[in-house]
């Protein structure tokens, strides 16, 4: 890593390890002396900030992937693995199958055990999925369709975040 040096004008300058620009040392954050020979970070301030922005964006993306809500297709797929794969193997296979959507072992386990995303039993209730499926055949508006149903019979799946 190039250390700070005096340029031809007698100013302390340093080359950034990322953008390679030679800049006055004031453009660098101080570094713990143990970790650098000149007391400055190897990256200039702008590059340091850019790196943090990038890391924050990456973390935010990861959080978004983790908090993706499960749709019926996901839940059905998970349920199909019951008895074939362990909860852990299912969670792993799930993120491969659904392009890196993450799901926790405990969510899989709770789906396997019908604690969340339970299948409504009996013909007295209908799930939101059945409701939406029926709506596609209905010629009126969605609102009219929902009104045409007995709302007590509509069972909404619980959110499956694990
Ligand atoms: Zn830089």
Does pTM top 0.85 for this prediction? no
pLDDT value for 60 = 80
How many angstroms does the Cα of residue 15 sit away from the middle of ligand 1? 8
Output phi, psi for 82, to 5 deg: -60, 130
DSSP conformation letters of 71-120: -HHHHHHHHHHBTTB-HHHHHHHHHHHTTT----HHHHHHHHTTSSSPPP
- Ligand 1 centre distance from Cα of residue 18 (Å): 5
Give helix 72-81 / helix 105-112 axis angle, nearest 10°. 80
104-114: pLDDT as tens digits: 888 888 888 88
Q: What is the pLDDT of residues 114-133, one digit of tens each?
A: 877 766 544 445 566 666 66
Residue 30 pLDDT: 93
C-alpha 9 – ligand 1 centre gap (Å)? 21
Reply yes or no on whether the pLDDT at 59 is more than 70.
yes
- pLDDT of res. 50: 96
Confidence of residue 162 (pLDDT cuts 50, 70, 90): very low
Supply φ then ψ for residue 88, to 5 degrees: -65, -45
Q: In whole angstroms, what is the distance from residue 1 CA to residue 5 CA?
A: 12
Distance of CA 64 from the midpoint of ligand 1 (Å): 30
Q: Please state, for a pLDDT cut of 90, what percent of the chain lies above it.
A: 40
Q: Is residue 149's pLDDT more than 80?
A: no
What is the reported pLDDT for 143?
64
pLDDT of the residue at 84: 95
pLDDT at 35 > cutoff 70: yes
Q: What is the Å distance from ligand 1's center to 46 Cα?
A: 6
Q: How far is the CA of 82 from the centre of ligand 1 (A)?
A: 52
How many whole angstroms separate alpha carbon 83 and alpha carbon 2?
A: 59
């Amino acid at each position: 890593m190039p250390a700070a040096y005096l340029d031809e004008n007698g100013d302390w300058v340093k080359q950034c390890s990322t953008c390679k620009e030679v800049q006055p040392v004031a453009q660098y954050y101080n570094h713990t002396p143990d970790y650098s020979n000149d007391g400055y970070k190897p990256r200039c301030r702008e590059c340091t900030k850019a790196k943090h922005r990038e890391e924050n964006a990456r973390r935010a993306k990861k959080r978004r992937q983790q908090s993706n809500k499960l749709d019926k297709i996901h839940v059905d797929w998970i349920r199909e693995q019951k008895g074939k794969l362990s909860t852990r193997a299912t969670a792993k296979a799930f993120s491969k199958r659904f392009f890196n959507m993450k799901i926790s072992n405990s969510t899989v386990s709770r789906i396997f055990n019908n604690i969340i995303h339970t299948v409504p039993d009996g013909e007295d209730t209908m799930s939101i999925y059945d409701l939406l499926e029926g709506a596609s055949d209905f010629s009126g508006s969605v609102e009219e369709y929902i009104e045409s149903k007995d709302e007590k019979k509509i069972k909404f799946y619980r959110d499956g975040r694990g």
